[in-house]
Structure formats: structure tokens, C-alpha cells
Structure 1
Amino acid sequence: MDASTAPSALFQRIEASFLRQGLMRHLGARLVRVEPGLCEVALPYSERVNQQQGGFHGGAMGALADIAGGYAALTQLADEMEVTTVEYKINFLAGFGDGELRAVGRVLRAGKRIIVTTADVMHMDDSGKASACALMQQTLAPVPKKY
């Protein structure tokens, strides 16, 4: 579901959690799409997310992939639950210094104690051309919501 149309109940639930993310607000990330087992997040290029040579910082790419995978996992859980990352592994495929990144997280397996996700991070240039940027695999654990 695209955030520009009437949001679904699932989108609203994920967005309520997403908006509590201080890091994502600071970096300028936005929630783009939420479906069962899937979440897409965008991150525009800015001085908040660059490294010393002008490209997107790997930490910003990793954080974006972590968030996309985490919220994809959260779509599989009850309203009173959240998730926490146990670990992730990311491969950086290419660097970019403009446009925006799009991370699409997908659930590979949603168990009771462990959820495994993957996230593809793509770079979108100003003309709309998409290029592979990073690939992540992640393990998450369901935890009770504390808010």
C-alpha cells in the first residue's frame, strides 16, 4: 500500500511505531509501503546520511535495511508485540551520493521465537533509474510492546 492513498489499518499500526523512531526521523526516512510480510522505507540523500567522501554512509544503509526488515516482521505479529533485532548481515554492493535509497524488507520465515527477513536496498537516481546498493539478511525476536 502506498502512503499517498488511504492507509490501511496495517499501515497505520506500522506507521505508529515507525514515527516513534528518533533515528529515522533524524535521518529523514519515510514509510512508503506496508503489506503483510513486506515493508518499504525511503531515505533521501542529505548531509545527515553521508560519509566523508560524499556517498551514503554504510551505517545509514544498514539502519534503513534493519528498519525495513524489522517492520516487515512486525506485520506478522499481534498488535501488542514489537520486534528487536538479534543480528543482521549486510553486503554493500555499490555506493551512491545523490537521489534516495529504497529498502524493501520481506519476511522469509516468521516463527514464534525467531523471525528471519531479508532487505534489498536500491538506489533511485533523479531520473528514476534503480540500481542495487545493498542486501541484508536479519534475525529478529518478538518482544512485548512497552508503550
Structure 2
Amino acid sequence: MDALSAPSALFQRIEASFLRQGMMQHLGARLLRVEAGLCEIALPYSERVTQQQGGFHGGAMGALADIAGGYAALTVAPPEAEVTTVEYKINFLAAFRDGELRATGRVARAGKRIIVTTADVVHVDANGKESACALMQQTLVPVPKTY
């Protein structure tokens, strides 16, 4: 890997935490992009993420949005901290199957004790067409890192 394609220190910090997420690993999620105040994660369609009618399960969409927002928050938290979700609210806009979901978390407000984020979840079909899937707002708090 050359210097231009090497992951940033911020990406590496978020990736180290992301790889400890057993659920995200089990579901096959991938960390796509990390910037200060932003994180994008992809979740491919598989039998692990479906509901009884074959579409992406709302729980999988919620988990993806929660993780994207959480890692966006972690980018603005102190280096010795992790973050934990206090609450989130999600609106499901449409159901999809096949392709993949992409959640982009963004920090709306970063305080010392509370961080508020949003996440947009879109469905990407085999042709690359994006369609709105869900919207989430979340409140997180920094917590001590225990690993």
C-alpha cells in the first residue's frame, strides 16, 4: 500500500473498534468511509438480515444506522474513549431486498457529555441506483474504553 492509499489514523482507530463488533462481523457489514464527524458502513443482503417476507429486517437497518451514527460520534470523542447509545429514533421509509444497505452517520452536535448524530440509510441495487430506506437520530455518551 502506498502513502496515498494507506488508511488514515482516524480510519484505523474506528476500524479497530468496528472489528470488535461481533454482530456487525456476523452480519457481514463493511466499514467504507471515516472522516471527522462522519462514518459510512455497508450491509450486504443475505439470509442473516432478512425478515419473514425476504426483505431487509428493520432490526438490521436499525443496527446499521446505530453503528454508523455511533462511529461518527467516536470520531469526535477523546482518543481514550468509546461511545454508547443512550437512545435512537428511526423512521423506516421503504423496504428492499437484494443489493446492499449503506448507512452514513453524521455528527449533528458534539458536546463533552452528549453527542447527537443522524444517519441516512439508503438501498443500493445491482445497477448502483440509490433509494432512501431509513432515517435515524441518536444520542450517545462518551464512556471509558475498557479494552
TM-score by length of 2: 0.96
Question: Partner residue of 2:85?
Answer: 85
AA partner of residue 136 (structure 1):
M
Shift of 1:84: 0.3
Question: Is 1:37–2:37 an aligned residue pair?
Answer: yes
Give a deviation string over 1:21-69, Cα, whole Å, max 9, x none: 0000000001000000000000000000000000000000000000000
Percent sequence identity is 84
AA partner of residue 130 (structure 2):
A
Distance 1:60 1:36 in 2: 25
Q: Aligned ranges for residues 61-72 of structure 1 at < 5 Å?
A: 61-72=61-72
Listed as ranges, the gaps of 5+ residues in structure 2 are none
Distance 2:112 2:144 in 1: 13
Distance 2:124 2:28 in 1: 16
Distance 2:84 2:9 in 1: 22
Shift of 1:115: 0.3
Q: What CA RMSD, in Å, does the superposition of the two structures yield over aligned residues?
A: 0.4
TM-score by length of 1: 0.96
SS at match of 2:128: coil
Q: List structure 1 runs of 4+ shifted beyond 4 angstroms.
A: none
